[in-house]
Chain A
Amino acid sequence: MAWTAVALAADLGVGDVAGTRIDGEEIALWRDAGGTPHAFEDRCPHRGMRLSFGFARGDRLACLYHGWQFDGAGRCRAIPAHPDLSPPATITLRRHRCVERAGLLWVAFAEAPPPADAPAWPVLSLFLDRPATTREPWRERIAGTPLLLAPQPRSPTQSAWHVVALAPPADAAALRAALHARRRALERFADEQPAASERRHAMAGSSHLRSAREAG
């Protein structure tokens, strides 16, 4: 499966910027003023700042550090430190393929036929402290509602499921409750594995907090 779902389409509004990961690769997602979603390498080519900390300006994404602006094609369009100069077309960042299908945002690192589209109703994204067990989306009926569940391997120890309904949910509250219960059960199971290192990784930054403790 070349395409990976990374978010519900409804969770990335116009002008939103968000960070995500596929197999540990950091990605900046953003949606431009025209409604088109984009997925960039989460790193400004200027000085390495994560672009997921940046901000959307119309049809461009600006880096928080020095305000360098990139258009939807990933091309640098403005360098504020040199406001009168126009950046050459060769200054670009790494951009991934990004499409909106079946109420989900999908990202691919390589060319592949786009995922199937279908009418869909947003449900929620579940973020799990356990690895993805599959890369293939699957269909399942939960609480009387037919669902599409699209897995996202985020890191060796963390994943997400992005869930949309393929028909208007019969009982939305029951559906969400069932999904949260599923997540809790899966994580409990993961906790029973000999996976101390997994939990350590699950908490980004905990290692520096431990070192901070040593610092007194």
Chain B
Amino acid sequence: MRTRDRVALDEWYAVASADELGPAPWPTRLLGEDITLARTPAGLAAHDAAGAPLPLRERYGLVFTTLGAPRGEIVEIAEAVEPDRRFVPCGWTLLRASGLRVVENFLDMAHFPYVHADILGAEPRTEVAPYRVEFRREADELWARGCRFWQPRAAATDTTGTMMEIDYRVPSPFVVMLYRVAPSQPHRRDCIALFIQPMEATLCRAVPLMWLADDISTHTAMLHFEQAIFLQDRVIVENQRPLALPLDPRAEIPTRADSSSVAYRRWLKEKGLRFGTAEWTGA
């Protein structure tokens, strides 16, 4: 059943890759409701469970829709129009987890030496240096700036290790991005975005898209690097208790390294979002 959470409804969601849609009806699920997409001679079309047409947008090779009335637009990604960027869409993966847990995990650095051992982090260099959290009220975005972490192999091109500098950006509750110094072109920043399709409160699909400054790696090397990282994260978010994201901090113990996690939950709480939180009661 479609959620009644107005805040969740009034957002745009990526629900498919544009190139996987054909004339055959393509069923999927969004916020508890069955929806169907198709590419007809007249163009893309979608309808909800009751047969009512849904609005559609195509961007970044993805198809977006909404079950509500979004006030905002789909996030603008400046790197997407830079002609020399390597664009790497990484494919969709299902996760038996709240999409909010997936966003929170993407924002997290302290797990690198354990979950992505010898790739994005390694013992004993486990320290998370202080970073800045910014609520950008005008754009209604959340940022974590000036993040630094020691990474033994930050990207497909990296073989020596580096003190990586990262900025994180959360443009909407189910979209999260990062900008990091491109290991093979240190004057530029790679851009990685994760679009999440919340299907149920604790079931989602997600697709990472990358716009990289990398003249060296093959497309498949960049793709496989990110896919392996994402699967390592999937093990975590499918096994947190509760599966949904608690907005109440009583059951957990955040420390300074968790500032972005706390800020994200605070931002969701302020918005009044409930779908996918531990406090969500099902309506």
**Interface residues as binary, A56-70 with B (CB distance below 8 Å gives 1, 0 otherwise):** 000000111111000
From known contacts A64-B115, A65-B115, infer whether A215 and B236 are also in contact, taking CB-CB under 8 Å.
no
B 254-269 contacts with A by CB, 8 A: 254-258, 261
Inter-subunit contact B241/A48 (CB<8 Å) = yes
Specify which of A49, A79, A84, A214 is in contact with B239 (CB 8 Å cutoff): A49
Q: How far is the CA of A216 from the CA of B257 in the complex (A)?
A: 38
Query: Which one of B120-128, B165-173, B179-187, B209-217 is at the interface?
Result: B120-128
A46 to chain B, nearest CB (A): 5
Residue of chain B at shortest CB distance from A45: B253
List, in ascending order, chain A residues with CB within 8 A of B246's CB: 48
What are the residues of chain A within 8 A of B205 when measuring CB–CB? 215
Chain B hits for A113, CB < 8 A: none
A62 to B113, CA, bound (A): 13
B26 within 8 A of A: yes
Among B96, B115, B124, contact of A83 (Cβ-Cβ < 8 Å): B124
B110 on the interface (CB 8 Å rule)? yes
Contact with B along A74-97 (1 / 0, CB 8 A): 000001111110000001000000
CB pair B252 A215 closer than 8 Å: no
Residues of A within 8 A of B241 (CB): 26, 42-43, 48-50
Q: A83-B127, A215-B29 are in contact. Are A208 and B96 (CB under 8 A)?
A: yes
Interface CB pairs A-B, < 8 A, 6: A43-B241, A48-B252, A50-B239, A62-B114, A81-B255, A205-B96
Note all chain A residues with C-beta closer than 8 A to B27: 214-216
Chain A residues within an 8 Å CB radius of B242:
48
A interface, CB within 8 angstroms of B? 26, 42-43, 45-50, 53, 62-67, 79-84, 91, 205, 208, 211-212, 214-216
> Of residues 31 to 49 in B, which have CB atoms within 8 Å of A's CB atoms?
34
A211 contacts B200, C-beta separation under 8 Å: yes
- From known contacts A66-B114, A82-B257, A208-B96, infer whether A48 and B126 are also in contact, taking CB-CB under 8 Å: no
- Given known A82-B255, A211-B200, contact A49–B29 (CB-CB < 8 A): no
- Known A48-B252, A216-B27; judge A208-B235 contact (CB<8 A): no
Q: Across the interface, which residues of B come within 8 angstroms of A48, CB to CB?
A: 240-242, 246, 251-252
Q: B28 at the A/B interface (Cβ < 8 Å)?
A: yes
Q: Is the interface of B mostly helix, strand, loop or mixed?
A: mixed
* Any A CB within 8 A of the CB of B199: yes
Q: How far is the CA of A215 from the CA of B197 in the complex (A)?
A: 11
- Taken together as a complex, chains A and B put the C-alpha atoms of A79 and B255 apart, in Å, by 9
- Tell me the chain B residues, 110-159 only, with Cβ under 8 Å from chain A: 110-111, 113-115, 123-124, 126-128
The one of A65, A84, A91, A214 in contact with B29, judged by C-beta atoms closer than 8 angstroms, is A214
A contact residues around B115 at 8 Å (CB): 64-65
A78 CB → nearest B CB, Å:
9
Chain B residue at smallest Cβ distance from A91: B253
Specify which chain A residues have a CB less than 8 angstroms from the CB of B261 in the assembled complex.
47
Contacts of B87-111 to chain A: CB distance below 8 A: 94, 96, 109-111
The distance in angstroms between the C-alpha atoms of A67 and B109, with both chains bound, is 12
Q: Is the CB of B203 within 8 A of A81?
A: no
Residues of chain B with a CB closer than 8 A to A46's CB: 252-255
Cβ–Cβ < 8 Å partners of B199 in chain A? 211, 215
B255 touches A64 (CB 8 A): no
B251 and chain A: residue at smallest CB distance: A48
B239/A66 in contact, CB under 8 A = no
Contact B94 A215 (CB under 8 A): yes
Q: Which of A43, A48, A91 has the most CB of B within 10 A?
A: A48
User: Is B126 a contact partner of A64 (Cβ separation < 8 A)?
Assistant: no
The answer on a CB contact under 8 Å between B253 and A67 is no
Tell me the minimal C-beta distance from B258 to chain A in angstroms. 7
The docked-state distance in angstroms from the alpha carbon of A11 to that of B214 is 49
- CB pair B26–A216 under 8 Å, yes or no, is yes
With A81-B127, A81-B257, A211-B199 in contact, is A65–B94 under 8 Å at CB? no
Cβ B111 vs Cβ A65 within 8 A: yes
Shortest Cβ gap from A167 to chain B (Å): 41
The 6 residue pairs across chains A and B that have the minimum distance between CB atoms: A80-B126, A81-B257, A81-B110, A208-B96, A81-B128, A48-B240
Please measure, in the bound complex, the distance between the C-alpha atom of A83 and the C-alpha atom of B257, giving whole angstroms.
12
